[in-house]
Chain A
Amino acid sequence: MKVRLLAFASAVAAIGSAEREWELASDLSVAELRQRLALDYPAIAPLLPRIAIAIDGALVHSSMVVRDGAEVALLPPVSGG
């Protein structure tokens, strides 16, 4: 399956772009997706413990299953205001 991978703040440099298509095995959990991220983009590995993941604009837990066509966003700790 393919997902749209979005990166923000320090995650952009770690992934190499702010947005890209990403080919994945079907129906991965978010926990498995995190493992794939570290393999496919090693520079993101040290940041991952503090990165939250949103699927289609909503924060998700590690047990959530990612579907084909999803928008997967990597969200480092925030600093608005």
Chain B
Amino acid sequence: MRARLVETDFDIPALLAAVADPACGAQALFLGTVRNRNDGREVLAIDYSAYRSMAENVLARIVTDLESGEPGLRMALEHRLGRITVGGASIAIVAASPRRDAALDAVRRALQRVKTEAPIWKHEIYADGSRSWREQEPLVPTAP
């Protein structure tokens, strides 16, 4: 499966190998990492949680949609759950394509769709001992 939720560090070489193809002249890799400040507060870590079954379906649909819209595009997408400390990676997206523009564009579009469509949440843990849910993008059902 090339779109999934994981609990451990990403295996980047395995992700790149999953999309490798002799017809591709470009591989693009994006890693989202936990930064040490948000809204002026010192962040120590983020607990990621998800509505697992739905989130895995959404991630798979994003990959399928993007691949079906671009000839030769091959993608893999993983999102980590659980606690990730500052500097750790929370999401890995790889895309291989015959053309570099298509690979770079696919990574950007996949990330944007994950952020707005996947039922995944950040619970930030701050240096002062407090925590806060980050609830940013309301989910919207598609038109009936």
Give the B-binding residues of A (Cβ under 8 A): 6, 8-10, 50, 52, 54, 57-61, 63, 73, 75-81
* B138 touches A (CB below 8 Å): yes
Is A78 a contact partner of B140 (Cβ separation < 8 A)? Answer: no
Q: Is the C-beta of B101 less than 8 angstroms from some C-beta in chain A? A: no
* Separation of A81 and B79 alpha carbons in the complex (Å): 7
A-B pair number, CB within 8 angstroms: 90
Which 5 residue pairs spanning A and B have beta carbons closest together? A80-B120, A59-B141, A52-B139, A9-B121, A77-B135
Do B142 and A80 touch (CB < 8 A)?
no
Known contacts A57-B53, A80-B50; is A8 also within 8 Å of B119 by CB? yes
Q: Interface residues, chain B, CB within 8 Å of chain A?
A: 32, 48-51, 53-55, 57, 79, 90-91, 111, 114-123, 133-142, 144
Contact A59 B123 (CB under 8 A): no
B134 nearest in chain A by CB position: A79
* Contact A52-B115, Cβ < 8 Å, known A6-B51, A8-B49, A76-B135: no
Pairwise interchain contact A73-B51, C-beta atoms closer than 8 A: yes
Q: How far apart are A5's CB and chain B's nearest CB, in angstroms?
A: 13
Report Cα–Cα, A58/B134, bound state, in Å: 22
Chain A neighbourhood of B116, CB < 8 A: 78
Measured CA separation A76–B120 after assembly (Å): 10
